[in-house]
Structure 1
Amino acid sequence: MPRTSATWAAPGRVNLIGEHTDYNLGFALPFAIEQSCTATVTVVDGTGLVIRSAQREDTVTLAEDDVRPGADLDWAGYVAGVVWAVRRDGARVPGLDIHVDSTVPVGAGLSSSAALACSVALAVQDVLGLGLDRDALLALTRSVENDFVGAPTGGLDQLAALRCVPGHALFCDLRSLQTRQVELDVTGHRLAILVIDTRAHHAHASGEYRERRDGCERAAALLGLTSLRELDMAGLASALERLPGDELRRYTRHVVTENERVLRTVELLDAGEPESIGPLLTASHASLRDDYRITVPELDVAVEVALRTGALGARMTGGGFGGSVIALLPAELVPACERAVAEAFAAHGFLEPRTFVTAAAGGAREVVPG
């Protein structure tokens, strides 16, 4: 039943492991975080959009014809893109006032954009009475990012925002879009996951991100594969010999080994051994640094300092070229790690990092007034 107003929240996410595997139809293991974006959508007269954010002073006002792919709308594109996708799929959309309020750090590799798009999509479909299930919402929000905004992501972030449950990571098969909840109990093992926001800003729509995706697709085509997901560890050495040039070999090696690391991490978590996944996290970072080449000095320094301070493992999380690092630590070492990273950043002349301890939270939910 259509409503005149609705409010929904969708979380950011930490990707525990499985980076740049999503658009290669591989495996990933994200979990939702407590920080989220809340969207309130209210029906108003006309057919235009009024978009406001608690984090910004400007108001974006759009006529119906202004809502089109390629329009330079900055952050508001993730909002307007939802309306565009709903209209494209045949729904009549009245005028809407959309107000968003987010606690997910922007540019930190914690999926602020997917949290924005998913919260708006859930609220829009609620006021319009579209009755979309979570699979349909996944397809819609992926289209917002890929087709409207033009960011070549693979769907991992939207899966996490829509399907995560508290206390669990989400084992994602990006080929089938099947998911499974995997218990992620770090506090019960006296561990903590520390997020280090390096404040080195990144953007998914950047040319570097697209270059990696294009390179992976080119490598798969040269190997006669639909995607690099079809290549496993047993066939990796032979495949690398058949690829021309160091770049395609490096990309391919990262994707295949990262898929293997995800599967091993899931095995260890299923066995109740979260303390054993640390070396896999660190190996993932080394692969992203040396093979995929998407780290920056801030990310590498944060990982190195965390490991020196006693972390069991640490890695960059998110699309790279900036963003955040996660460190798996004995809980009592968190303050020492935070101090050491801050001191190292000051010594290197980097911006002061932001840090917080996180745990696996729930996915998107309706926010009921009062």
Structure 2
Amino acid sequence: MKKKLIQRTISHFETCFGKQPQAIFLSPGRINIIGEHIDYNDGFVLPAAINKYICFAFAKNQGTQCRIQALDLKQSHQLDLNDTLEPIEKMWANYILGVLHQLKEKGLPLNGFDMVFSSTIPIGAGLSSSAALECGVGYALNEIYTLGLSKESIALIGQKAEHTFAGVNCGIMDQFASVFGKKNQVIELDCNTLEHQYHKADFSNHSLLLLDSRVKHAHLTSGYNTRREEVEKGLAIIRSHYPQVSTFRDCTSQMVFSLKETLGETIFNRCHFVVKEIQRVKKAVQAVAVSDFNALGKWMSETHQGLAEEYEVSCPEIDFLVHQALKHPSVLGARMMGGGFGGCSINLVTKGHEDQVIDTISKEYLQHFGIALQPYKVKIAKGTSRYKK
């Protein structure tokens, strides 16, 4: 599938621009094993890059014109680097414009380029296709124009592009995982300091199965930003009563419970989920370290319960998928993944039982919702990189 993606992208580039691309880049989507909605709450997360990619075919041109072709969308966009860059109606273009805007602001030496991109990352499934797009463009321009940016800088540029040009106040996890991913390793990321360490993910006897509800979400309308506002209000209240608290990682469940009436039911639930999820991530890291997949599955399933009941970012379709998956003895854990209100569930499955789980749940899901389920068997892959034959 990766080779077909690359060949398709190169072929379209040659058709559009009448020349061969100068370089090919691959930027992966990501999964998050555990630590949902924690990256913007200064917590710890456990993401990994996966073997689904956006492929970029790039070449410099002689002027300041940037000619961009979105192969899958059958759309194009053209801009002049001398013009003021501002958000436009084409949302996919805004992710690219946001990156270019920051590179210009930094005074980095850019010239025009021709680019085609194509993807195997499903849009709206919670696999961070937007982060892959931002980071892929940033990484490619850094390589082609020798801009001297670090991987961390590329991830932060991608995050800021999403804030300023897409209007989504996302955390850093998606971009970080896309850039820093390593094959067969998960990243324990401190979203406060960006300190991170890798943990070998020995999935030789288990697999990660994504079940796409095919209910598409858009963070702008899904309540993502609302959740951020709610937890920020909650943290301010907690700090006013407990001055020693700097971030949610300093909070205990007891602190949150002591302020239940002051916080009010909704904000209490949001804050309680965040505190418990930070604790679950630590336990999950310990489980991965000793390959205790039963424990890892337990923490994943507990996360879903919190996301559905306390953070309220799930939906009936995802709840159904998780509930049905956990009926299978071969499924050790299941939960919603991503921003919420649709997208994928992530399931920890005993190897060899994936097809049985897919077949059973697909029939149940179609019967219940009239929607054809889309499964994805994924492997943990390396991060954004230049493709070399």
Tell me the TM-score range normalised by the shorter chain.
over 0.9
Q: Which residue of 2 aligns with 1:340?
A: 360
So what's the TM-score if we normalise by structure 2? 0.89
Deviations 1:162-187 (A, max 9, x none): 11211111111101111111121122
Q: Which amino acid aligns with 2:95?
A: Y
2:220 aligned with 1:205, yes or no?
yes
> Where does the alignment leave 5 or more consecutive residues of structure 1 unmatched?
none
Q: Distance in 1 between matches of 2:289 and 2:163?
A: 33
The aligned residue for residue 206 of structure 2 is 191
Q: Does 1:300 align with 2:323?
A: no
1:304 aligned partner, one-letter code: H
Instruction: Give the secondary structure class of the aligned counterpart of 2:326.
Output: helix
In structure 2, relative to structure 1, the CA distance for the partners of 1:67 and 1:230 (3 Å cut) is farther
CA contact (8 A) 2:55 2:118 kept: yes
Q: In the alignment, which of 298, 302, 327 is matched to residue 347 of structure 2? A: 327
The amino acid across from 2:60 in the alignment is: V
Q: Which amino acid aligns with 2:120?
A: T
Q: For each residue in 1:26-67, what CA deviation from the matched residue of structure 2 results, as whole angstroms up to 9, or x when unmatched?
A: 111011110111222322233232111221212112234666
> In structure 1, what residue type is equivalent to 2:300?
L
What CA distance in whole angstroms lies between the structure 2 residues aligned with 1:246 and 1:137?
39
Query: How far apart, in 2, do the equivalents of 1:144 and 1:297 lie?
Result: 32
In the TM superposition, 1:151-190 aligns within 5 A as 151-187=168-204, 190=205
Residues in 2 aligned to 1:87 and 1:255: alpha-carbon distance in whole angstroms? 37
Aligned equivalent of 2:99:
82
5 Å-filtered alignment, 1:55-74, equals: 55-64=72-81, 68-74=85-91
Task: Give structure 2 stretches of 5+ with no counterpart.
Answer: 1-20, 240-244
Aligned letter for 2:258?
S
Contact 1:82 1:144 in 2 (8 A): yes
Please state whether the residue corresponding to 1:139 is helix, strand or coil. helix
Contact 1:184/1:274 (<8 A) preserved: no
Task: Report % sequence identity.
Answer: 30
Q: Which residue of 2 aligns with 1:103?
A: 120
Residue 363 of structure 1: aligned partner: 383
Does the CA-based 8 Å contact 1:152-1:205 persist in structure 2?
Answer: no
* Aligned counterparts, 1:112-127, within 5 A: 112-127=129-144
Provide closer, same or farther for how the CA distance between residues 66 and 307 of structure 1 changes in structure 2, counting only shifts above 3 A.
farther
Residue 230 in 1 paired to residue 250 in 2?
Answer: yes
**Contact 2:152–2:176 (CA under 8 A) maintained in structure 1:** no
- 2:238, 2:256 within 8 Å by CA — same for their partners in 1? no
Q: 1:309 aligns with which of 303, 320, 328?
A: 328
Distance in 2, Cα, partners of 1:170 & 1:102? 23
Conserved? CA contact 1:153–1:204, under 8 Å: no
Q: How many residues end up aligned between the 2 structures?
A: 363
Q: Describe the superposition over 1:265-321 as per-residue Cα deviations: whole angstroms up to 9, x where unpaired.
A: 001111221232111111100000000111111111110111112211100111101
Instruction: Please point out which of 255, 266, 273 is paired with 1:247.
Output: 266
2:28 aligned partner, one-letter code: P
**Equivalent in the alignment of 1:221:** 236
1:108 shift after superposition: 0.4
- SS of residue paired to 1:171: strand
Q: Distance in 2 between matches of 1:124 and 1:65?
A: 17
